[in-house]
Amino acid sequence: MKRAVEYLGERTTVSTLVDLTGAFEGIASLRISQIRRQALASQIFFSDLWKIYRQIPVDELFHFGRIQFSGEVIQKELLILITAEGSFSGDIDRRLIEEVLKIYNPTKHVIIVIGHHGALQLAQMGIKYDHSFKTPEQDLKINTEPLLNEVRKYHSTVIYYPQYKSLMTQEIKQIRLSTAVMERGSQVEEGGETINEQTYIFEPSTYAVVDHLENSMMQITLSEVILESKLAQYASRFKAMSLARGRAEDNFSDVSTFYNRAKRQEKDERLKETVNSLRGTTL
């Protein structure tokens, strides 16, 4: 059996682990609250843009902001994988990649990955990706333009990302970008003043304005998907830290029991030595 001082050292180490996991758990919970507020503000802005967009009489098609795009569209499907920047995010990235591999065909698909952790896992599996981007650190003014430049090159785009359900539940979701924008728009209540070429002057042209609005709405949709992904990643981290803290607390309890037992045993041994010493002196 170990000495009490050894168990005391272990107990101090485990106590530090309990404090650290509790701190990370609290940080994750705070970040979830902040991101949810930002996502709500983004949804309101999208609704305002959609109302303007639907009132401009061009056509019923969504052009991905390609009206002024001069390049040739690649007849492949772009798969965008949104993962965490670091590995401290539970098992959510592994689950996401496993879901993508169910349909991935290198002759039909091109992969772009957001997040170093996802890029690292793909590289370890020997799966090639076309580009990788860092997960945005900030939640405000997320720059999605480099990503949109890639989206415009391909016939269609599907985004895979972790979806936040609750602190303990995160799911892998996929959306087709054009469909996602149109579906979101269909949920917006129409209203406001009439916007057309008789009541407004469009500079430099009506099509250029429509192009700008489509780009803006795709930027917002991509930003919200990234925010949703970060929500799920923080929730996955919260879950992992919660489980780790629970195990650390159980370990702390066990080590404390062993420490108290060892300490009591050492006291008993010292007492026996003292009694035996007194008996020897009496004799």
The residue type found at 157 is T
pLDDT attached to residue 7: 59
pLDDT over 70 (residue 31): no
Whether 175 is in a domain gets the answer yes
In a domain, 250, yes or no: no
Eight-class DSSP state of 136: P
Flag whether 252 is in a domain: no
- In a domain, residue 278? The reply is no
User: What are the C-alpha distances in Å from 76 to residues 42, 72, 158, 173, 214?
Assistant: 30, 12, 11, 21, 21
Residue 84 Ramachandran class (φ > 0 left, ψ -120 to 50 alpha, else beta): beta
Whole-number Å distance between alpha carbons of 86 and 218: 26
* Mean pLDDT, range 62-77, rounded to an integer: 71
Q: 226-278: per-residue pLDDT in tens? A: 887 877 777 777 777 777 777 777 777 777 777 777 777 777 677 777 767 76
SS3 at position 157: strand
Neighbours of 236 (CB within 10 A): 25
Q: What is the per-residue pLDDT for 173?
A: 86
In a domain, 56, yes or no: yes
pLDDT confidence of residue 136:
77
Cα dihedral: 63, 173, 118, 230 (round 10): 90
Average pLDDT over residues 168-193: 72
Q: Alpha helices of 56-132 — where are they, by DSSP H?
A: 92-101, 116-124
Q: What domain range is 175 assigned to?
A: 25-239
- What confidence score (pLDDT) does residue 106 get? 92
Helices (H) and strands (E) in the chain, counts: 6, 5
Domain count, the chain: 1
Q: What is the CATH number of the domain that holds 55?
A: 3.40.1380.10
**pLDDT tens digits, 185-218:** 666 666 555 666 666 777 777 777 777 777 777 7
Percent of the chain with pLDDT over 90: 14
Distance CA 197, CA 21 (A): 59
Q: Tell me, yes or no, whether 254 lies in a domain.
A: no
Whether 259 maps to a domain, the answer reads no
Domain membership flag for residue 244: no
